[in-house]
Structure formats: C-alpha cells, structure tokens
Structure 1
Amino acid sequence: MWLWMKSMLVPLINLYLCGVKVLIYQLFNRSFTLPVLPKQNGRVAIVTGGTRGMGFETARHLARLGMHVVIAGNEREEGTAAVRKIHEEGSEGKAEFVFLDLTSLVSVRQFVQTFKDRGLPLHVLVNNAGTMLVPEKQTEDGFEFHFGLNYLGHFLLTNLLLDLLKRSGRHSCCSRIVNMSSATHYAGVLAMDDLNRRICYSSHGAYSQSKLALVLFSYYLQEQLTAGGFPVTVNAVDPGMVDTALYNNLWSLAQALKKPVAKILFRTPAEGASTTIYAAAACEMEGVGGCYLYNGQKTRSSELSYNSEAQAKLWKKSCELVGL
C-alpha cells in the first residue's frame, strides 16, 4: 500500500501542486512580451514538434525573422499544412517539413544523416516536441514513452547534430540549443535504477522525470561546451501552462476543471512560445547558456537539477541507452 502511494499518489499530487503554483503566478503576472528581435537571414533552425501548438508558433516566428526553418515531426499532413500557412503569411524566411519520429532511434539517425547530406549549416536547434500523461507504453526501442520521446530522442538528436552546431557557430554569433522543459521538473525524481518506470508506473512521475532530465542534460552539455571553448549555448525553457493538446490526457475530472480555467489563466500557444523564441534569437541571449528561462527571465530550477553527480550519471546512462 505504501509503495503504491509513494509511486502513484505522490507524483500525482506533486505535479498538480506545481500546476496550481504556475496558475497563481499567471493570474498575477502578464505573459512575457518579446522585444524587437534581429533579423536571422542566412541562419538555419530545426524545430521538433513544429507542426502545431508552441512548436508551430516558434517555427512561424523564426521564419518571419528570415530563418530557414526545418519543421521536424511525425505527422506529414500537419507538417505540410504548417509549412503552407507560414509561406502564405509571406515570411521572409523559408519553412519546410521533414519527417522525424523521436520515439525511434533509427528515425532520429536517419533524419540527422539526411539533414547533414544536404550540406546546410545549423544555427538553432529547438527541442520542443513532447507528450504528457500518456497511459503506460513503450517506444519501439523499449523505452518508457515520456522518457523516450521527451528526453532520449532529443538527447540523441542533439548529440548527432552537435558537430554541425559547433562548426556553424562563431564566438560573436553562437549556435543555440533550446530544450523545452516544464515547471513539473520541480516535482521530478530521477530513478537511475528504473528510468523506464517498470517497477510501478505513474504517468505523472514519468512526465516529471522526463522534464527534469532535459534540465540536467542542458546544464551538463553547457559545461562541456564551455570547457571546450565551443561557440554553442544550451538553455532550458519553461513555457508555463499553455492551452495546447498536451492536456488531452488529463484524467476526466481534471479535464473538466481545466476547460474553464484555461480560458482565463492559461497562456496561448504564441505566448507560451515567446520565451523559446527569445532564447533562440534575442541579442540579450548571445553567448548566454546554462540557464533555466521562465516568462523571459532567468529563474532558479530545482535543487536536484544542479547536482553535478546526477547530471554526469544521467549523461553516461543516456549515452549507453542510445548507443553513443
């Protein structure tokens, strides 16, 4: 009974407490307003999950600034529609869709190889795609679904593109990696001996863990890049509570309560994407890495996320899992 409470009830309570805190903040604080951003002509970006929601708003805005944006996703029809909409708006940049299934390590490797074969540079990588509170299932490689999609797929993608990001950046104009985390990472616990959550599954715990992993990954990678003197920055972003399809998997009571609350307190996808766009393109973020950004401000993340031993252990284990 105690084991069930610890593994199921505690993560659920902690996640919803995080949500309540965010909603209280959003009740009394306006959404971050983007400053005027410099043109990004000649720069290339990849945005995962860019076919809808915050990913689409990010891709759309970067294209408006003149970037060549590659929208990476697993829904071809949505991808085609997203590209069409961006082009119809008369963006200065270019948008295109390329298939990528982050739940498949083979697909990640194929995507990277295809991109590299084109000879394009890469200046911005936005690891935006994600899923939340799905019932227990695994990726095709046998990983817990949240951990595999939200974190491991992005971990492999980033590492395979890292050499290109390093070559494309300059010390006066760094390449940028932006990882989409969440306030739920504060409730996250890193179960190093059970990252796949097979002992006792909790969708709430699994989601929180995947978002914590992204913050740990961001900090550790930034340390490595800084130590090597490479012109690449890495930051984690918290978009707040945003009215997107991510919440479709809430349990029924929470789903019913969410609808009226969302109209008043949730951010729109465009508002939710503002901090991501800021991290990807703002002059103020030039050369600035290793930050957790919330509502356009540098914010302190969870105490565990700063644990260098946990960062190193997760990095080593992740390399083993994805075959690096």
Structure 2
Amino acid sequence: MWLSSVLVPLLRLYLCGVKVLFYQMFNRSFTLPVLPKQNGRVAIVTGGTRGMGFETARHLASLGMHVIIAGNEREEGTEAVRKIHEEGGKGKAEFVFVDLTSLKSVRQFAQTFRDRGLPLHVLVNNAGTMLVPERQTEDGFEFHFCLNYLGHFLLTNLLLDVLKKSGKQGCCSRIINMSSATHYAGVIDMEDLNRRICYSSHGAYSQSKLALVLFTYFLQEQLTAGGFAVTVNAVDPGMVDTALYNNLWSLAQALKKPVAKTLFRTPAEGASISIYAAAAAEMEGVGGCYLYNGVKTQSSDLSYDSELQVKLWKKSCELVGLQKA
C-alpha cells in the first residue's frame, strides 16, 4: 500500500520535474507578443499578491484592466496594489480578501463581487499550494484539493453568470486555470478524493492539477454547447522560481537552489502564459486548450476521459453544494 500510494506518486512527480527542466534547458521562455489594450475590462486574479499571480495582475493592469487581486494575505495585497499603482498605468488594481480553502469565504467573495454590479471579462484561477503536509480545511477537504481545485471550481461557477453576460461574440470572457506538468503524473480516485486511505502530498498535488484540466475541458464543452461567449483554458507555466517550492523535502530543496538560478523561469516568465491566454488577440474565441510555453499542447491521456470529466464535475457540485445542472 505504501509503495503504490506514497513512493510511486513521489517518483512520478519528480520525473515530470526532470523532463520539464530538460525542456527549459534547451528552450527559451515564451515571449509575449504585443497585446491589445484592455481598457474597461475587469479581471479577477486569485493569488495575485506575489509570484506569478502578482506579475499577471500587474501586466493586465498595465493594459488598462481593472484588476481585482483576490487573496488571503491583506498586507501583501495592500503592497501589491501600491506597487501596481506606482507604475502609473491606465488600469486599476484593488485587493479583496478571499480564503479559497473556505467555501463560506468563496461564497462571500462571489456575492460581494456580484453586488457591485461590475462585469467580469477575465478570471485567472492562479492561487495554489504544493507539497504541504497532510491537513484538512475547515470544511474537511484535503488541502491541495480544496485550495488548488475545489475552491476555484466553486468560485468559477458562482461567477459564471456574470462571465456569460460580460462576454460577446468577438469579445469573449475568458477563464484561465493554472495547471502544471505534474498533472501528467496525476490520478483521480473518485472514492478517495481527500486521499485519506494513504496520504501522499505528491499524489495530492498532482491530483489537484489534473482535476483543473478535467474541469477546463468539461466546462468548455458545456459553454460551447450553450452558445456562450466564454472560453476556458488551462495553462502550464513550467518550473518557476517562486515560494511554491518551499515545501520540498530537505534534499530536494538543497538541489533546487543552484538549479533554480539557471533553469527555472522567473515569475514574470511563468506568468506570460496566463497573460497571453487572458489578453492575446490570437486567443479570442479559443477555448479548451492546454497551453505550455505559448503553444497548444497535448495534456495527459486521462485528462481527455469524458466519463471521468462528468464524474468529477458531478462530485464537485455535490461537495460544494451546487446543483449538478
């Protein structure tokens, strides 16, 4: 049991990491094209107080967007807004508190936003965590599963009507889900999504990132069938030098430091994929993609399993208290 539930997910995740590093060793980071101005458009970026989330929020604001940084660190949020406004762009930035590990907090955030009567043109589901020790949220969910996936699943669904109303043919609203190459190592156990039988932080993280890709494809299919002007894409930033790696075990942490300086992407480079998906003219009307280094890429075979997509959607609706329809 231990071998299959703990050691195998660890080895599969680190193998994914090695493959990504080899790619980044021989390939330059994606360079953003000139992006059209986004004046009057509104964006929400979760986890936008630092790292890739901050770089995404900063860049979208520089294009003229009104960017709402959604996070759970108030001081960091205030500082992020100050930095963005200091740059003197035409956009606007503000911080609004949300704890994605609390379904109550997610509902409060969504309701507060809806009450303001603002449109919503871009939702970047960026916030995430990696390899934290076993812990549960206040609602009893495994931490990776809730923060990386389930909180974003609920947030997206609660704001979906606003996104639908804000999008128009030729000017779609856009949803961007931050996945990772580790989704290739992920498996979904519908009977143990909270991984209580035998916990593995590596398996939990990979599962959460695979869930985001499954969610992306299923939601895009439903939006297309309904004729709504909303697109959904999953993005993979590669290996980026952020605080996400702070929970690596000691040996991996020691090996990571010298490697990160030469092979890891910077937060700005990692954020370029989210920014591209959120604002590029080439992405207008394009959804259901897995984007890596600026290119539509084949995700894992499991992520295209339509039956699994449906099962995960229905189970997720049940877990967060949404009607399956």
Q: When the two structures are superposed, what TM-score results if normalisation uses the length of structure 1?
A: 0.99
* Offset of residue 92 of structure 1: 1.1
For structure 1, list consecutive stretches of 5 or more residues without a partner in the other structure: none
List aligned pairs for 1:196-275, cutoff 5 A: 196-275=194-273
Residue 315 (structure 2) aligns with = 317
In structure 1, give the amino acid aligned to 2:264.
F
List aligned pairs for 1:269-308, cutoff 5 A: 269-308=267-306
In structure 1, give the amino acid aligned to 2:204.
A
**Corresponding position: 1:38 with 2:39:** no
Q: Structure 2 residue aligned with 1:106, among 101, 104, 107? A: 104
Q: Secondary structure at the match of 2:75?
A: helix
In structure 2, give the amino acid aligned to 1:86.
I
* Offset of residue 29 of structure 1: 0.1
* Offset of residue 172 of structure 1: 1.0
Aligned length: 322
CA distance in 2, matches of 1:73, 1:172: 31
* Offset of residue 91 of structure 1: 1.4
In structure 2, give the amino acid aligned to 1:177.
I
* Offset of residue 183 of structure 1: 0.1
For structure 2, list consecutive stretches of 5 or more residues without a partner in the other structure: none
Q: Runs of at least 4 residues of structure 1 off by over 3 A? A: none
- 1:190-236 CA deviation, whole Å, 9 max, x = no partner? 01100000000000000000000000000000000000000000000
CA distance in 1, matches of 2:69, 2:137: 21
Q: Secondary structure at the match of 1:8?
A: helix
CA distance in 2, matches of 1:230, 1:189: 31
Q: Structure 2 residue aligned with 1:182, among 174, 180, 183? A: 180
In structure 2, give the amino acid aligned to 1:127.
N
CA distance in 1, matches of 2:114, 2:26: 46
What is the Cα-based RMSD across aligned positions, in Å? 0.2
In structure 1, give the amino acid aligned to 2:175.
I
Q: Structure 2 residue aligned with 1:148, among 140, 146, 149? A: 146
* Offset of residue 152 of structure 1: 0.2
CA distance in 2, matches of 1:190, 1:213: 8
Q: Structure 1 residue aligned with 2:27, among 29, 37, 52? A: 29
CA distance in 2, matches of 1:44, 1:102: 20
Report the identity percentage. Answer: 87
Q: When the two structures are superposed, what TM-score results if normalisation uses the length of structure 2?
A: 0.99
In structure 2, give the amino acid aligned to 1:319.
C
Q: Secondary structure at the match of 1:315?
A: helix
